[in-house]
């Protein structure tokens, strides 16, 4: 048995070698320059058709989830909208998947790939929902699973939601490696992959993103069957970008070329995701700007050489909402529709309320996922934990929300308004990050074409930005 140097520097230096062994993908085959690669060929060479993906997912209790019309919430929105406004709000209930979230779709394809390639187990680094999905799918395929999870701050205190998700991972039979917040997460992932020889069930591989494509495809099918038209807008919670990328690709495969793809994140401006102090001062561990903005402006900041989740490539709009607004909508969903779901899964529902008020009554806006709730994931647990950590929790105008200091819960539905993120600002940030990898003077025609596609603009727009 080969004994490797396990120092941080040595392990990180072997990153590409470890990734190749744990995925069976040679990313060098797709690289065209320091910034460009053949994205569509990489996605296509997973070898799975949409029919394959749906068949594989059905084998392990994933997919074909219900689409509900939220009659009472839609009516409430119309009462506070201008005459003729108030689109019908539909909810795709992904909590019905094995493990309770849309991430079962990603894990299902990764588990199948691991099985057919002869790996004995799967490993993922995640705060929890995806870990539970990996553990659930691994159990059904007869594979072992290890989840590497950031749980604690330096005091050894874990946020209730993360602790709950770790419990769920263990319930499905996973070994959970629990870490404190800091830079060692990916180091431990690499070490564990190398030592076990397990499959890397990363969130950002082509297999994971292809698995989410079935979600967008199902949305298109179900809306057409029931309403005889395509959805006018689909609202997608945005963090690392896989949810949005996969759903949008599925919609496009179904022919929904005019459907608006709207991203939504909780605004946690001012909080640093790797900060020990800020770790327990946020009430959302995913679906927030701490992930959404950095991953949009440079997708390749991940644990694989090239990220298959590329949100700006598919995003039409980007809405931001406050923590208080999401907690309010979570409670309202329960009270009006009799559905209790986790707050993180209701981020996109919060944005959908705002959008519905701006859309016509004959239009349709789809919220494409929910997630399970319970124990530490419940909004009351999150609010109690925030209060215990010195964060003010009160009713009032949500514009007074201050991340890490005050969670202000609306007093009325009309106060749920969110705000629009500047898309072109994000695109320019992306181009600046690209220029740091390769100076603009060295960009080839292919580089310009890749960048234009990756930010959903044309080459002329990219050239006119004057990125220095």
| The two three-digit tokens of residue 101, written as one number | 């979230």
Express each pLDDT in 159-186 by its tens digit. Answer: 888 888 889 999 999 999 998 887 788 8
Q: What is the pTM of this model?
A: 0.96
Element (H, E) at 179: strand 175-180
Tally the C-alpha atoms within 13 A of residue 314's C-alpha that lie toward its C-beta. 31
Burial of 290 (0-12, 13-18, 19+ CB in 10 A): buried
Question: For residue 74, what are the domain limits?
Answer: 56-99+208-420
Tell me if residue 38 falls in helix, strand or coil. coil
β partners of residue 394: 408
Name the phi and psi angles at 17, rounded to 5.
-65, -45
What is the distance between the alpha carbons of residues 42 and 45, in angstroms, rounded to a whole number? Answer: 5
- Predicted local confidence at residue 186, as pLDDT: 85
Does pLDDT of 1 surpass 50? no
Residue 461's CB: how many other CB atoms inside 10 A?
A: 15
DSSP character for 70? -
Burial of 68 (0-12, 13-18, 19+ CB in 10 A): middle
The full DSSP string for 308-377 is S--GGGT-SEEEEE-HHHHHHHHHHHHHHHS----GGGGHHHHHHHHHHHHSBTT-EEEE-------GGG
Tell me if residue 166 falls in helix, strand or coil. helix
β partners of residue 145: 122
Element (H, E) at 236: strand 233-237
CA angle 329, 318, 376 (to 5 degrees): 40
Of the candidates 339, 343, 320, the one whose C-alpha atom is nearest the C-alpha of residue 330 is 343
- Whether 332 is covered by a domain: the verdict is yes
HEC string of 257-307 equals CCCEEEEEEECCCCCCCCCHHHHCCCCCCCCEHHHHHHHHHCCCCCCCCCC
Burial of 318 (0-12, 13-18, 19+ CB in 10 A): buried
- Whether 62 is covered by a domain: the verdict is yes
- Whether 380 is covered by a domain: the verdict is yes
CATH code of the domain in which 359 resides: 3.40.50.1100
Better pLDDT: 64 or 160 = 64
Of the candidates 131, 127, 315, 169, the one whose C-alpha atom is nearest the C-alpha of residue 237 is 315
What is the distance between the alpha carbons of residues 459 and 464, in angstroms, rounded to a whole number? Answer: 9
CA angle 325, 329, 331 (to 5 degrees): 120
Does pLDDT of 2 surpass 70? no
Angle, helix 347-358 to helix 323-337, in steps of 10 degrees = 80
- Predicted local confidence at residue 74, as pLDDT: 98
What is the distance between the alpha carbons of residues 29 and 67, in angstroms, rounded to a whole number? Answer: 40
- Whether 68 is covered by a domain: the verdict is yes
Contact 283, 383 (CB under 8 A): yes
- Whether 60 is covered by a domain: the verdict is yes
- Whether 257 is covered by a domain: the verdict is yes
Express each pLDDT in 324-334 by its tens digit. Answer: 999 999 999 99
Better pLDDT: 437 or 3 = 437
Among 46-50, 133-137, 147-151, the range scoring the smallest mean pLDDT is: 147-151
Residue 399's CB: how many other CB atoms inside 10 A?
A: 13
Instruction: Give me the mean pLDDT over the 89-93 stretch.
Output: 98
Element (H, E) at 405: none
- Whether 171 is covered by a domain: the verdict is no
pLDDT band with cut points at 50, 70 and 90 for residue 468: low
Residue with tokens 């919060």: 350
- Whether 78 is covered by a domain: the verdict is yes
Cα→Cα distances 70→62, 220, 330, 332, Å:
23, 17, 13, 11
pLDDT band with cut points at 50, 70 and 90 for residue 156: confident
Report the DSSP pairing between strands 175-180 and 144-152: parallel
> How many structural domains compose the chain?
1
Mean residue pLDDT across the chain: 94
Helices (H) then strands (E): counts for the chain: 19, 13
Contact 7, 278 (CB under 8 A): no
Name the phi and psi angles at 192, rounded to 5.
-70, -40
Tell me if residue 85 falls in helix, strand or coil. strand
| The two three-digit tokens of residue 154, written as one number | 């330096």
User: Looking at 20-173, which runs of residues are DSSP E strands?
Assistant: 67-69, 88-92, 121-125, 144-152
Cα→Cα distances 448→364, 445, 465, Å:
36, 5, 12
Residue with tokens 């969110």: 418
Express each pLDDT in 206-261 by its tens digit. Answer: 999 999 999 999 999 999 999 999 999 999 999 999 999 999 999 999 999 999 99
């Amino acid at each position: 048995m080969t004994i490797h140097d396990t120092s941080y520097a040595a392990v990180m230096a072997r990153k590409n070698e470890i990734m190749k062994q744990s995925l069976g993908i040679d990313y060098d085959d797709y690289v065209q320059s320091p910034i460009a690669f053949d994205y569509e060929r990489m996605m296509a060479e997973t070898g799975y058709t949409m029919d394959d993906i749906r068949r594989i997912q059905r084998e392990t209790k994933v997919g074909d989830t219900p689409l509900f019309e939220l009659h009472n919430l839609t009516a409430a929105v119309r009462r506070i909208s201008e005459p003729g406004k108030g689109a019908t709000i539909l909810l795709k209930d992904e909590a019905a998947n094995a493990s309770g979230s849309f991430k079962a779709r990603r894990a299902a394809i990764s588990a199948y790939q691991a099985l057919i390639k002869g790996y004995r187990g799967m490993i993922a680094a995640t705060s929890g929902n995806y870990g539970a999905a990996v553990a659930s799918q691994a159990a059904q395929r007869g594979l072992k699973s290890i989840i590497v999870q950031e749980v604690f701050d330096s005091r050894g205190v874990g946020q209730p939601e993360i602790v709950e998700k770790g419990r769920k991972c263990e319930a499905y039979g996973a070994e959970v490696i629990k870490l404190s917040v800091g830079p060692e997460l990916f180091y431990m992932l690499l070490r564990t992959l190398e030592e076990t020889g397990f499959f890397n069930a990363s969130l950002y591989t082509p297999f994971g993103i292809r698995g989410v494509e079935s979600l967008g495809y199902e949305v298109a099918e179900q809306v057409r069957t029931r309403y005889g038209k395509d959805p006018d807008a689909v609202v997608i919670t945005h963090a690392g970008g896989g949810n949005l990328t996969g759903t949008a690709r599925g919609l496009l495969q179904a022919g929904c070329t005019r459907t608006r793809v709207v991203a939504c994140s909780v605004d946690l401006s001012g909080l640093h995701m790797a900060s020990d102090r800020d770790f327990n001062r946020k009430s959302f561990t995913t679906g927030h700007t701490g992930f959404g903005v950095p991953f949009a402006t440079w997708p390749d900041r991940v644990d694989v050489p090239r990220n298959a989740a590329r949100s700006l490539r598919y995003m039409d709009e980007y809405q931001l909402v406050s923590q208080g607004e999401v907690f309010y909508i979570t409670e309202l969903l329960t009270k009006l529709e009799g559905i209790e779901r986790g707050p993180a899964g209701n981020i996109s529902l919060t944005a959908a309320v705002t959008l519905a008020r701006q859309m016509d009554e004959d239009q349709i806006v789809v919220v494409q996922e929910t997630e399970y709730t319970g124990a530490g994931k419940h909004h009351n647990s999150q609010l109690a934990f925030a209060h215990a950590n010195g964060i003010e929790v009160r009713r009032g105008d949500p514009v007074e929300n201050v991340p890490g200091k005050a969670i202000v819960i609306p007093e009325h539905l009309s106060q749920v308004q969110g705000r629009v993120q500047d898309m072109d600002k994000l695109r320019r940030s992306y181009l600046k990050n690209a220029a740091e990898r390769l100076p603009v003077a060295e960009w080839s025609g292919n580089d310009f074409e890749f960048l234009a596609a990756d930010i959903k603009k044309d080459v002329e727009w990219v050239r006119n930005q004057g990125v220095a």
